Structure formats: structure tokens, C-alpha cells
Structure 1
Amino acid sequence: MPHAPDGGLGPTRAVYPGTFDPFTPGHFDVVDRARRMFDHVTVLVAVNDDKRPTRTAAARAAEIQRSLPADWENVSVAAWQGLTVDYSRHHGCGVIIRGVRNSTDYQHEHELAAMNEALGVTTLLVPARPELATTSSTAVRALRA
């Protein structure tokens, strides 16, 4: 994590980006853990042209916001189209949170983390809890169909 000039932790705002179609128990768990590490966490509902979400980013963001406990006052939800790094810079988020379920996720996220770091934003990879590692949004959508 970035360090402030006084030696303490730097920015305490983080962003957790994803398509979140749907927002799974694993996503919920990552947000819960992240909100305990940072002063503020933004769940960033992203537009990803490689995926075909079933609802608009705004609809997904509203659903996520409704699902969060009322006492999670340091968590907000926003929809965003563009680079997560751009959102991070514009909103003072010094860390990007990414969940990883397995080695395939790790390899992909490690590559993205390197790019984000080169652009000035640190990425924190949060491993999925074992009991949640097998759940993916794709699998949940398939079960709903």
C-alpha cells in the first residue's frame, strides 16, 4: 500500500471494481473484509464490453446498494464506464481491491495489477474464502436461467 510522508498508510480510500452480474456472496465477503481495512470502499459497477450483463450498470449498482447493511456507512456503490485507474485518481482512491478464487484468477489479476501499478494505483488481491471460491457470477446466472 502507498505510504504517507509521515510513514503511515497513505490513501485510505479503496475501490472494488467488477461487473457484479450478479453480486455474489463472494463479492459481499470481499467488500466486508475491505471495509474493515479502509476508511472508505466504493463498489464500482463497471461496464465491460467483453461481458454481456443482464441489466444496466445503474440497475446493478442500485441492487447492490440495497443489499448492503445500513451500518456499512463507509461503503458506497457507483456505476462507471472507463478505466478503474481513472476513477481511482478522480476520486482519491489509492488502492484497487480485486478478489481471486483460483490460480487462473490470480494470473489474470496479477497482470492487471502490474498495469495499474505502472499507472500509479496499487492493487490488493483478496483471496476468496474456501467455502466461497467455487461461486462465480457466471455460474449463478446459469442457475437462474
Structure 2
Amino acid sequence: MFPGPVGDPRNSRAVYPGTFDPFTAGHRDLVDRARRLFEHVTVLVAVNDEKRPTRSGVHRAADIRAGLPREWENVAVAAWNGLTVAYCRQHGAGVIIRGVRNTGDVVRENQLAAMNETLGVTTLLMPTRPELATISSTIVRATVA
């Protein structure tokens, strides 16, 4: 992919944060779509013990990276313990990407987006493709257990 002119979103860095426990087909689709819009996308694996993940953030990040196509060279995966905005500031990312499946997600994500905006980072809400909207990490974990 060739970067666009100055001011073009493809000349920017975006972060896609989440617990990703596990990383689903919906997550993968969103990363694929985002990597076509931005020069660089980081899948930011939240290290949040309050959510009681099944595996450490480092292990989840390694699994995600291993599962992404090698040709997705503009996608990185990192584990992070802290505010997403802090990561964005440290790594020059100007956009946080969030997927939304339904109206409940939109309401919740709009509240987070407003907070992130006051901290200087824009949030881009990307709707989930209809055929993937019923998939969630919680449902995937329940069907595996």
C-alpha cells in the first residue's frame, strides 16, 4: 500500500485496543479493514486483570500476531498495561479504532470516544459486518468451555 498525500489518513497511525480473549473473526475483519485505511495499525492487547483473561496479555498478543497474515506488514501487535491514550501519545498514534456491533456498543463507545477526544485522541467507530455481528469473545469462550 502506498501512503497518500499529507493529511491523508493513510499517513497516520491507529490503535485498535481490546482484551481479545480470544481474538475473533470480527476482530480480524476490523484489523483488515483498518490496515487499508491507515499507514500503520497496532492491535493493542489490554493487560487488565480485572477482566480475568484466560491467558496473559503477552500470550494473547503472540497468538494474535502468529494468526495474522505475514503480508499485513503495517500491522503490529503489542500488550499494554495502561490507558490507550497514553500508548497513543508514546507511539504517535492519532486514532483509536473501536468496533461496534449494536446500539448498546454505540452508546458505550460514544462515551469512551468523548473522553478520548478530550485527551487529544480521536476515536473512529467502525461498524461490524452484519454476518459477524453476533460473534463476541464471551460467546466464543462459552462455546469452547
2:62 is the alignment partner of 1:56: no
State the SS of the aligned residue for 2:51. Answer: coil
Q: How does 1:9-20 map to 2 (within 5 A)?
A: 9=8, 12-20=12-20
1:98 alignment partner AA: R
Question: Alpha carbons of 1:26 and 1:53: their partners in 2 closer, same or farther (altered >3 Å)?
Answer: same
Partner deviation per Cα, 1:28-58 (whole Å, 9 max, x = no partner) = 0000000000000000000234411100000
Give 2:28's aligned residue.
28
Change (3 A) 1:71 1:51: same
Please give the per-residue CA displacement for 1:55-82, whole angstroms capped at 9, x wherever unaligned: 0000000000000000000000000000
SS of the residue 1:69 aligns to: coil
The residue correspondences of 1:3-14 to structure 2 (distance < 5 A) are: 8-9=7-8, 12-14=12-14
Aligned partner letter, 2:8 = L
Match of 1:128 in 2: 128
Displacement after TM superposition at 1:7 (Å): 7.2
Structure 2 Cα separation of the partners of residues 122 and 71 of structure 1: 27
Match of 2:71 in 1: 71
Q: Which has the higher helix share?
A: 2
Query: TM-score, length-normalised on structure 2?
Result: 0.93
Equivalent residue number for residue 83 of structure 1: 83
> Take 1:39 and 1:14, find their aligned partners in 2: how far apart are those partners?
8
Show structure 1 runs of 4+ deviating over 6 A.
Answer: none
Residue 3 of structure 1 aligns with which residue? none
* RMSD (Å), alpha carbons: 1.4
Match of 2:108 in 1: 108
TM-score, normalised via structure 1 length: 0.93
Question: Once the two structures are aligned, what percentage of the paired residues are identical?
Answer: 70
Partner amino acid, structure 2, of 1:66:
A
Which segment drifts farther, 126-135 or 48-57? Answer: 48-57
Deviations 1:104-125 (A, max 9, x none): 1111100000000000000000
Question: What SS class does the counterpart of residue 78 from structure 1 fall into?
Answer: strand
Partner residue, 1:138: 138
Unaligned runs of 5+ in 2: none
Task: Name the SS of the counterpart of 1:14 in structure 2.
Answer: strand
